[in-house]
Amino acid sequence: MGRCFVGIMVPEHIRDVAISLQKRLAEFGMKCKFVEPKNMHICLSFLGEVDDRKIEDLKRALDAVAERYKSFDIKIGKMKFIPSENYIRVIVLSVDDLLERMRKAVVEAVGGDSKPPHLTLCRVKYVDDKKRFVNEFGEVVCGETFRVGSIQLIKSELQRSGPVYTVIHESRLS
């Protein structure tokens, strides 16, 4: 099958806000690789290379997790710098803690590598003036909400132009 992860693809209105933040970041002049708008998601668990024979088991496990949850709203929050303001390698938007319980349930059901839920804006190569950068962006808050109605099993194919994501299964929340 290839590289896969479990996540939540974000709706268009969230992508629009994230794109406008990416444009502001680009104006700052740092060196980075922005996440393509069509690929914006919240990762619950990165599974890595998955054997085709395991896909059906993954689908069933994700369906079982989804059955335990009702649709709910989450809020996209503050801009954060990973791992820290002094050593910026990834810029993300935080996500409500409401997803944390679901993330843990997904990891328990299917395994994988998982971090606290967030929406990645870009991977940073270099920031000229970190102090000025943090002053300008450290308090930026998205503040938008969206309804989580499903979790997806997503295939990631690396291509010369960047990753291409394909939803191979969607598990609807009850």
- Asked if 156 and 4 touch (Cβ cutoff 8 Å), the reply is yes
Helix ranges, the chain (H): 12-28, 55-67, 98-110, 130-137
Sequence-distant (6+) residues with CB within 8 A of 54 are: 1
Supply angle C-alpha 22, 24, 30, rounded to 5.
Answer: 80
* Positive or negative torsion for Cα 108, 111, 113, 114: negative
pLDDT in tens, 123-152: 999 998 899 999 999 999 999 999 999 999
Write out the catalytic residue numbers.
41, 118
Average pLDDT over residues 141-166: 93
Compute the distance between CA of residue 18 and CA of residue 20 in angstroms, rounded to an integer. Answer: 5
Work out the pLDDT band at 161, boundaries 50, 70, 90.
confident
The domains of the chain are located at: 2-172
Instruction: State pLDDT tens for residues 33-85.
Output: 999 999 999 999 999 999 999 999 999 999 999 999 999 999 999 999 999 99
CATH code of the region 2-172: 3.90.1140.10
